[in-house]
Amino acid sequence: MTDPGGWTAPEGWGPPSPPPAAPPTAPAHAQGPAYAEQPAGYSTYGYRPEPKPGVVPLRPLGLGELLDGAVGVLRRYPRPTLGMSAAVAVVATLANVVLLLTAFRPLVDADTTAGLESGSTEALEEALGGAVVGGLLTAGLTLLSTAVLTGILTAVVGKAVLGQPLDLAGAWAQVRPALPRLVGVAALLALLAGGLAFAGVFLGVLLIAVGGAPAALIGVPLLLAGLAGAVYLYFRLSLAPCALVLEKIGIRDSLRRSWLLVKGDWWRVFGISLLTLVVAMFVSLVIQVPFELLGYGSVGELTGGGDTLSVRTLVLSSLGGIVAATLVDPFTAGVRALLYVDRRMRAEGLDVALTAAAANPSA
């Protein structure tokens, strides 16, 4: 489905092209009647309903429409959203549990515990080393699963805006070629924002530790500046994964696109993203608390049966995390993808092209 401007919608969602030259004006006609006589019962000015072929109206979106649109995506496309989210959550949770048990096994083993009490540090060093390796593997697995889920949800939102069908196989076919770039842009975002935050905290704490109270006048502002800079940079580049999937561009171009799209509207992007995170955390907490309570059981069970209680707590806690992630993760990814669409409609007039695409689906 292409338009004369040279970009594809919604499959490509490429950046806007320069507007075509204005067509020549027609010669003036002789003055005639201002308007023809209207049939009885019809007004001169007709009402044109707001175009909404999909989950959101094709115009700049408000906060409520972004949140409601994300929920609408989950309701209309449950298999590629909730189904994929559940699969990713199960795999990630099981892998994290295995890594956790493997890393800290020396500390919970009876012989190891006896060794620690006698002053041996070998088990502790082994556990710490395993924890570091496990943490790195967990971070890599989380990065991969987040990239897959973000790509799938972004592809689904691209179709949901126009009300077009898309199953899990179609979404995966669209995202699979971009998966290495998605992982790359996610890793780069984490390194840039995390590195800036770490640098600010490290230098600030170092100044305070070396220079004492007088150096705190410099160290504290430096620490806060590092954290603030990391937050600003992350949300300025937060729309890069969406641009990468929908516009089919590379990592560098997607970062540039996000930087330009968020320009002049950073506070709104930050506020909506922060509110979405708060809502997601609240919903996740509401879902997980009952599983945690079931894991601990009655108060009397807390004093006995430690091994059985630990296994049951771990299983139910993991199950609660899977259920929460299945519902919450696609919601947050959907809001971010719709926020990308909203920024393009506000900054580039994408709503005009989408309205034309919705009116001519076979074009």
Is the overall model pTM greater than 0.95, yes or no? no
Amino acid at 332: T
The closest of 237, 227, 236 to 187, measured between CA atoms, is: 237
- Residue 17 in this model has a pLDDT that exceeds 60: no
d(CA 32, CA 50): 32
pLDDT of residue 300: 46
At residue 18, the pLDDT reads 54
pLDDT digits (tens, 9 = 90+) for 83-97: 999 999 998 888 877
Is residue 108 over pLDDT 80?
no
pLDDT at residue 29 is higher than 50: no
Predicted pLDDT at 224: 94
HEC secondary structure over 84-133: HHHHHHHHHHHHHHHHHHHHHHHHHCHHHHHHHHCCCCHHHHHHHHHHHH
**d(C-alpha 288, C-alpha 324), whole Å:** 7
Percent of the chain at pLDDT exceeding 70: 73
